[in-house]
Structure formats: C-alpha cells, structure tokens
Amino acid sequence: MSLDQAACPHALLYQQWEAVPGPPVSEVGDHWLVSSHALVRQVLNDPEAFSPDNALDAVTPMATNALRILAQHGFRLPHTLANNSTPSHAGIRAVVAEFLRPSRVAEQRDFVTTFVRTQVADAAACLDRREEVDLHAVISHALPLVTLGRLIALPPDDVEVVKRFSSSALELFWAPLDMTRQRALAETVGEYHGRLRSFARSGPGLAATLRAHSAPNNLDEDDIVAVLFFLLVAGQETTSQFLTALLHRLLREPAVVRGVLDGSVSASDVVAEGLRTDTSVVTWRRLTTREVDLGGVIIPAGESVVLRLAAAGRDPAIVAAPDEFVPGQPGSRRHLSFGAGLHRCLGAYLATMEAEVVVEQSARLLARCQVVGPPRHADNLSFRMPDALVVAAAR
C-alpha cells in the first residue's frame, strides 16, 4: 500500500493538482519543483541542459526482492521514448508517430463515437432503473486501450488483464510504496512484460514495423519491448484518467454542460480547458546535465527537476481566470498537459479526439446525474490514478 502522506518526507510531491501554484522554483527534499508556465516550458524545450533520462526512474527505489522478481521475468527497460536522450530517439519517435498521425486517428472517430454512445446508453439505462453508475468503469476505463489497439495492434489480451498491468506500472514506478506492495506490483508488471516480449518477436502492426526498423537503427528486442511497454502505459492509461477527471469536472459545471447541449460551448474548448485545469499527468521529471540558472535559482548538475504541469496550467500569466473552468478563455490551449519540445506526447491528437467525443456523447447523461462517490486518488508523483466516479440520477 502507499505510505501515509503525513509520514512521507516528500509529502509535498504528491496530490500536486490540489496544491496552489507556489513559487516558480523551490527545493523539496531531493527534487526541484518548477511551477511557472514559462519555466516549465523552458525546461521541456532544453533537452541539452535538462535531460529526460530520469523520466521513468522509480520514485521508490527498487528493493532487492523486487529487482529479483523483475529479473526472473526478463524485465529490461532501455531508453526509448519519454526517457531517451540518445540518437535513437528520433528514429523510434518517427515510427510511432506514423501510427498516431492525425489522419489515422481521425479515421477512428466513428468507432469511438459508436463505442461511447453504447456505453452512455448503458449508463442511462442504469439511471432509469435508479441504480448507481461508475462512470470511470463504464465510459473511461476501456475506450483508450481499445482504440489504441486498433491503431498500433496490441496483444489480443482481455482488457482487464492489460489495464491491471498498466495501472500497476504507474504505481510501481511513480508511487511511494512499502516493500510488500512493491513486490506484488513487480510480479504483475514483470509477468506482462514477458508477454510483451513474445509479442515483440512476432506481433503485427507497430511491433512488426519496429522489427523492420531495428537493423538500420541499431535497435534490439529490448528496445521494441520498451516502446510497447511505454505506449501501453502512457498511450492509454493517462487518457482513461483524464476522461474521468473531465467527467467529474463537468458534473460540477452544469452551465458548461448546458452550453454543450445547446451548442454555445464547443467540445473542443471544453477539452482544452479540462487539460489545463484537470490534466491527468500532473508532473513530469527532468535531470540537470550541468549547473543551470532557472529563473534566478541555481540548480546543480545531476539534480531531479519535477515539472508541475498541473500548476503551470493554473499560472495567471497564461489565463485571466486560472482557477475557474471557462472553456474558450484566451490562453486555455497553452496548457502543457502533453509536454513540449522533442518529447511532446505523440498521442495528444488521439487523447483529444477521444475526450471531445466523450463530451459530445455524454453531455445529456451528465445533465441528469449527481455525484455520489467522487474519485479517490492514491499518492502518485505524476498521475491522478482515480479509482471510480459513482453517480446517480439527480433528484
């Protein structure tokens, strides 16, 4: 289980979206927190001074027993995408980008619309029977994974098996853990990593293209597995979390929902504002490669820099109403939820499209709901990790 926040020496690192923006740069334990929009963007756009190499490092150092479990499953995670500062990054990124290009994503919109419409109808039927509904489970949970699988081809595994792996990976690498929980997560992650290794050797879609790409770009099997591993975690789990956060936000913004229904508020503006105020990726990390002056603060070489993406979205320097939900307000689309620079999220267009469809298709449902069980969030450095969003018919 996660450690109690009050007992954690770096408690300020967790539940970051609940915190006020704070000083532009501050030191917390072994990390430097960056909150200002301008400075976060500066770091993301300077990979020479701020390396991405620590982006996937485990927040809780791996104990020997956990490392042994991972090793038994042949677990290896070389630098490939988010944590790659080597020359191989550009080639790997180009291959993945081709599978997630806007035109290919747009071709999935009809499928996504039908999928969401069906899930919303199921939820509405439950409300009609005066039953409670978990919108996280019904709407947010499976959609991003199923859609990603249609684009890149994934192992033909049960959705719940993959979701258990991906949420376990987010917890294993980004949460404060005790050793018992760490070992259990290592078993789940290591076991599915082995499944990905088999798929990397013979699977179709992206896996096959990466195999063809491997020889001229000096990639090996570990590199291909690492790409699949990261996409299965970041390429869909973060979108599931954002969809739940956005639905929860809209349930507290009835005027916005009414605007969507009468056409005065666009789904595109709602999603952009949601990404600004309720991003699922609340922080991201960088490592200083040399001593740097960041906003007048000197940070030594080799230091962990935690970029507070959620706080940057609420910087009054970019929007006039930073703490209000105002779709379409100037500056709303300047959020950094997908990062910036060489490592900007390749799935940004996909996640945005899925969220827009969810807003369009669920507005009428949301207008008749009330929250009876808001999401709870376990401590995690970079991700929201909602457990549920339970609603009932409004009285």
- Say if residue 20's pLDDT is above 70: no
- The pLDDT assigned to 5 comes to 37
Q: Does 250 map to a domain?
A: yes
Q: Does 319 map to a domain?
A: no
Phi and psi dihedrals of 280, rounded to 5?
A: -80, -25
- The pLDDT assigned to 22 comes to 79
- Say if residue 17's pLDDT is above 80: no
CATH number at residue 167: 1.10.630.10
Give per-residue pLDDT as tens, 171-196.
Answer: 999 999 999 999 999 999 999 999 99
Written in H, E and C, the secondary structure of 341-395 is HHHCCCCHHHHHHHHHHHHHHHHHHHCCEEEEECCCECCCCCECCECCCEEEECC
Q: What is the rounded distance in angstroms from the CA atom of residue 366 to the CA atom of residue 368?
A: 5
**Lowest-confidence pick of 73-82, 140-149, 250-259, 284-293:** 73-82
The count of domains in the chain is 1
* Mean pLDDT of the residues in the chain: 94
The residues pairing with 294 across neighbouring beta strands, listed in sequence order, are 297
- Say if residue 299's pLDDT is above 90: yes
Residue-number span of the structural domain to which 127 is assigned: 5-312+329-393
pLDDT band, residue 216 (cuts 50/70/90): confident
Give per-residue pLDDT as tens, 58-113.
Answer: 999 999 999 999 999 999 989 889 999 998 899 999 999 999 999 999 999 999 99
Q: Does 317 map to a domain?
A: no
- The pLDDT assigned to 363 comes to 98
Q: Does 61 map to a domain?
A: yes
Give the closest residue to 49 by CA, choosing from 289, 285, 286: 289
- The pLDDT assigned to 2 comes to 35
- The pLDDT assigned to 10 comes to 56
Q: Does 320 map to a domain?
A: no
**Average pLDDT of the residues in 290-295:** 98
Cβ distance 379 to 15 under 8 Å? yes
Question: Which pTM was predicted?
Answer: 0.95
- Say if residue 39's pLDDT is above 80: yes
Q: Does 318 map to a domain?
A: no
- The pLDDT assigned to 249 comes to 98
